[in-house]
């Protein structure tokens, strides 16, 4: 079993590689994490996602700009490619369908992709519409797929407003549709105000909350 000190060293190295937009180092440290027995999900959240939090702070302080953000994202994805296949699956979870996307006007998809990874790891069938998704596309696809849950993500206060609109459109088309929302500007109060059936602040809680929503529906 790896010591706490070594674990911290590896997680910090993964995080730093994201911040320094070093794809090779990021991939190499993620491989080290697996070789030394770290949990792949913990390495994703406390290494890769933690690095992206620091990047966000640098961006806010105008030390990093959009090109750096993109390079950091590339480094994060290089690491995620290594870790993703090792994120533990929960075969006990009911095989359900999720229709997922980032709403119109918003191209931030790193968080949505982590959410997708966690749902897939938990055994869900995920229909990923991508980012900057036209609002009527969610309604159109939901009619075809009849997913158990629609997941909406928004990362900006501006694009967040589209969530309320699309929930209205989805519920007008099918009053029984269930919607889960998430993304940095949202919180449980806003989610409720927008008419969502659930809110989650991160990818793991999203899967847990999805389970609660589905169970509430079937009892």
Task: Please report whether residue 111 would count as binding ligand B1M according to CB under 6 A.
Answer: yes
Write down the least CB distance from residue 53 to ligand B1M, Å. Answer: 6
Q: How many residues bind ligand B1M (CB under 6 A)?
A: 37
One character per residue 66-85, x = contact with ligand B1M (rule: CB under 6 A) = x--xx--x------------
What residues between 16 and 55 interact with ligand B1M by CB under 6 A?
49, 52, 55
What residues between 124 and 153 interact with ligand B1M by CB under 6 A?
151-153
Q: Which stretch binds ligand B1M (CB under 6 A): 78-86, 87-95, 140-148, 180-188?
A: 180-188
Task: Please report whether residue 206 would count as binding ligand B1M according to CB under 6 A.
Answer: yes
In the β-sheet with 198-199, what is the strand arrangement from edge to edge?
125-128, 97-102, 149-153, 179-182, 198-199
Q: Which of 137, 124, 65, 129 is nearest to 98 (CA)?
A: 124
Q: How far apart are CA 91 and CA 89, in angstroms?
A: 6
Task: Please report whether residue 182 would count as binding ligand B1M according to CB under 6 A.
Answer: yes
Q: Which is nearer to ligand B1M, 33 or 186 (CB)?
A: 186
Q: Which of 10, 78, 122, 180 binds ligand B1M (CB under 6 A)?
A: 180
The helix/strand count (H/E) of the chain reads as 10, 5
Q: Directed axis angle between helix 203-218 and helix 110-121, to 10°?
A: 50
Task: Please report whether residue 158 would count as binding ligand B1M according to CB under 6 A.
Answer: yes
Q: Nearest 5 degrees, angle CA 202-CA 25-CA 58?
A: 55
Please report the DSSP string for 51-109 in residue order. Answer: HHHHHHHHHHTTSS-HHHHHHHHHHHHHHHHHHGGGSPP-TTS---EEEEEEBTT----
Q: Which stretch binds ligand B1M (CB under 6 A): 17-25, 64-72, 88-96, 187-195?
A: 64-72
The binding site for ligand B1M (CB under 6 A) comprises 49, 52, 55-56, 59-60, 66, 69-70, 73, 105-112, 114-115, 151-153, 155-158, 180-185, 200, 202-203, 206
């Amino acid at each position: 079993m790896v010591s706490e000190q070594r674990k911290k060293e590896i997680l910090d190295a993964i995080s730093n590689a994201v911040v320094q937009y070093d794809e090779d180092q990021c991939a190499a440290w993620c491989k080290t994490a697996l070789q030394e027995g770290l949990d792949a999900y913990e390495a994703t959240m406390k290494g890769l996602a933690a690095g992206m939090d620091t990047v966000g702070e640098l961006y806010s302080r105008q030390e990093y700009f959009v090109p750096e953000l993109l390079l950091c994202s590339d480094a994060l994805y290089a690491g995620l490619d290594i870790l993703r296949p090792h994120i533990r699956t929960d075969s006990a979870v009911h095989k359900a369908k999720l229709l997922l996307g980032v709403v119109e006007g918003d191209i931030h998809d790193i968080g949505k992709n982590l959410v997708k990874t966690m749902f897939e790891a938990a055994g869900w069938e995920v229909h990923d519409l991508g980012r900057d998704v036209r609002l009527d596309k969610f309604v159109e696809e939901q009619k075809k797929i009849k997913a158990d849950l629609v997941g909406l993500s928004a990362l900006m206060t501006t694009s967040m407003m589209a969530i309320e609109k699309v929930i209205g459109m989805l519920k007008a088309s099918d009053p029984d549709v269930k919607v889960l929302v998430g993304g940095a500007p949202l919180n449980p109060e806003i989610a409720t105000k927008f008419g969502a059936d659930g809110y989650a602040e991160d990818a793991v809680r999203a899967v847990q909350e999805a389970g609660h929503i589905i169970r509430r529906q079937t009892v």
